[in-house]
Amino acid sequence: MCPARRDHGSQHKKATHGCAAGTGDDQVYFRVSGTTLLASTLRKVTDRQLTITGPITISGGGAVQVMQVALGARLNLMRLGIANGNNVSTGKGGGIDNSFGTLAITNSNFADNSSSVSSGGGNFSNERGAAASIKSTILAAAGNSSGNCAGTITDTGYNISDDSTCNFSATGTKTIPTPDFPRLAWPTTADRLRL
């Protein structure tokens, strides 16, 4: 028999405590809503395939970057809020910095994230050679004149941005200057606004 607390420990590693080694994709589901305040940037995502599903907002509290995606990693984000991230160390992606990984974002919100570089992508940065797609997501209120996005991003439709830095152009996508998106309560996503 493999107790749940021991099974969790063997998901990524070899067999331990009589529990089989984990196989397949890694998934994190939040069954609660609200905001999680980070004291430091989340551990860099290095997984072959990781999916994180909300509804929850992850906040950098205006002091730390929220997350990074490493070379070769694949990250799927669904129904998440990424807020108040601040990258002062490398100046890229206060919300998320995708460094040569693969990132897919669906039905999520990015607001009030900033980077220390004016073109660093306050909410999101996609390094050259990385792959990123965004669908039904709101990006707004990037701080420090850094713009919402940096790098090439695939717009798969129905996104909303308050600036043109994401170069969105797919069906249903809108660029609306200075909307008041940070005041929208979760689970407001682009597909629910019907602008």
Chain segment 136-164, per-residue pLDDT in tens: 999 988 876 778 899 999 999 999 998 89
Q: Which residues pair with 26 in a beta bridge?
A: 50
Q: Averaging pLDDT over each range in 21-25, 74-78, 189-193, which range is the top one?
A: 74-78
Residues 6 or more apart whose Cβ sits within 8 Å of residue 183: none
pLDDT for res 13:
52
Is the four-CA dihedral 145, 149, 152, 154 of positive or negative sign? negative
Q: What is the pLDDT of residues 29-46, one digit of tens each?
A: 999 999 999 999 999 999
pLDDT at residue 120, as a whole number? 80
> For the segment 54-102, what is each residue's pLDDT rounded down to a tens digit?
999 999 999 999 999 999 999 999 999 999 999 887 778 999 999 999 9
Q: Residue 34's pLDDT is what? A: 93
The whole-chain average pLDDT of the chain stands at 83
Are 17 and 9 spatial neighbours (Cβ–Cβ below 8 Å)?
A: yes
59 bridge partner residues: 37, 83
| Residue 4 pLDDT level (bands cut at 50, 70, 90) | very low
Note if the bond before 187 is cis, omega within 30 degrees. yes
Domain spans of the chain?
Answer: 23-187
pLDDT score of 15: 66
138 DSSP β-pair partners = 109, 160
Tokens 């965004």, located at residue: 134
**What are the structure tokens assigned to 77, written together?**
């984000």
